[in-house]
Amino acid sequence: MKIVVTKDYEELSAKAAKIMLDVVKEDPYAVLGLATGTTPLGLYGHMIKDREKNGTSYAHVRTVNLDEYQGLPRTHAQSYAYFMRKNLFEGLKIDPENTNIENGMAADEEKECARYDALLERLPRDIQLLGLGSNGHVAFNEPGTPFSSGTHVVTLAESTVKDNARLFSDISEVPRKAFTMGIRQIMQAKKILILASGANKADAVFKMVKGEVTEQVPASVLQLHPDCILIADKEAAAKL
Ligand code: GLP
Concerning whether 137 is annotated as a catalytic residue, the answer is yes
The answer as to whether 239 is a domain residue is no
Using 50, 70 and 90 to split pLDDT, how confident is the model at 1? Answer: very high
The answer as to whether 240 is a domain residue is no
Measured distance CA(233)–CA(231) in Å, rounded: 7
Using 50, 70 and 90 to split pLDDT, how confident is the model at 122? Answer: very high
- Strand 67-69 versus strand 177-180 pairing type: antiparallel
Q: What is the pTM of this model?
A: 0.97
What residues flank ligand 1, with Cβ below 6 Å?
35-39, 66-67, 131-133, 139-140, 160, 164
Contact 197, 188 (CB under 8 A): no
Element housing 119 (H / E): helix 109-122
Measured distance CA(9)–CA(7) in Å, rounded: 7
Give the closest residue (by CA) to ligand 1 atom 9: 139
In tens, the pLDDT along 9-65 reads: 999 999 999 999 999 999 999 999 999 999 999 999 999 999 999 999 999 999 999
List the catalytic residue out of 46, 50, 65, 67: 67
Percentage of the chain surpassing pLDDT 90? 100
How far apart are the CA of 37 and the centre of ligand 1, in A? 4
The answer as to whether 196 is a domain residue is yes
The answer as to whether 61 is a domain residue is yes
CATH classification at residue 217: 3.40.50.1360
Residues 209-234, mean pLDDT to the nearest whole number: 98
How many domains are contained in the chain?
1
The answer as to whether 238 is a domain residue is no
Q: What is the domain range of residue 111?
A: 2-233
Residues 151-180, mean pLDDT to the nearest whole number: 95
Percentage of the chain surpassing pLDDT 70? 100
Q: Which residues contact 44 (CB under 8 A, 6 or more apart)?
A: 87, 88, 91
The answer as to whether 156 is a domain residue is yes
